[in-house]
Amino acid sequence: MTKQEIKQKEEKLLEMTGTFCTQRLDDEYFQLCEKLIKKLGRKKEVPFQRGKLEIWAAAVVYAIGSINFLFDKSFEPYMSADHISEYFGTKNSTVSNKARQIKDMFDMWHFSPEFSTQKMTEDNPFNNMVMVDGFIVPLDTLPAELQEMVKDARSRGEDIEFQTEQR
């Protein structure tokens, strides 16, 4: 498959997920799906060169939705996995399997910074934790100056781990 043909498929995927997100979800999901599709398109072996685009589109939405609790009724927005499959005319089991491949490919999990919604990023329970000597401890148990160091590092997109001196 030529680069131009891959680009055409990518554009079609962007159109399909964009329409879905605009009609059923929100702009943030649209942007996250777009980011994921473009990342898929940059892989050495582009995954969506084979298979139905409807399955890939549904799987992209499913993958982003699953790490952002889209299928949990207590979260907004909410949507069932079946609704995604119905919209794209696909089988839920096929979409789920393809979404799993995507999530494994990019090491996507709940609270993955790259593909989390803003709300998920803000509500991440690990935001207030830090690693000290290999143990995860609450940030507020550290002295104030160390807390500030952690917050400053995180604001720059860095993470920090502390080790106490060995005696």
Report the alpha-carbon distance of residue 90 to residue 94 in Å, rounded: 7
Q: What single DSSP character describes residue 132?
A: E
Report pLDDT digits (tens) over 131-165. 888 888 888 888 888 888 887 887 777 777 766 66
Per residue in 49-89, pLDDT (tens digit) is: 999 999 999 999 999 999 999 999 999 999 999 999 999 99
Structural domains in the chain, CATH included, are: 3-120 (1.10.472), 124-162 (no CATH)
pLDDT at 166 (0 to 100):
58
pLDDT score, position 165: 66
Q: Please check whether residue 68 is in contact with residue 120, taking contact to mean a CB–CB distance below 8 angstroms.
A: yes
pLDDT surpassing 80 at residue 167: no
**What pLDDT does residue 156 have?**
77
Against a cut of 0.85, is the pTM above it? Answer: no
92-121: average pLDDT: 93
Residue 76: DSSP 8-state: S
pLDDT over 90 percentage in the chain: 66
Residue (of 5, 95, 28, 2) closest to 57 by Cα position: 95
CA distance 80 to 72: 8
Residue 46 contacts residue 40 (beta carbons within 8 Å) = yes
Q: Of 149 and 23, which is predicted with more confidence?
A: 23
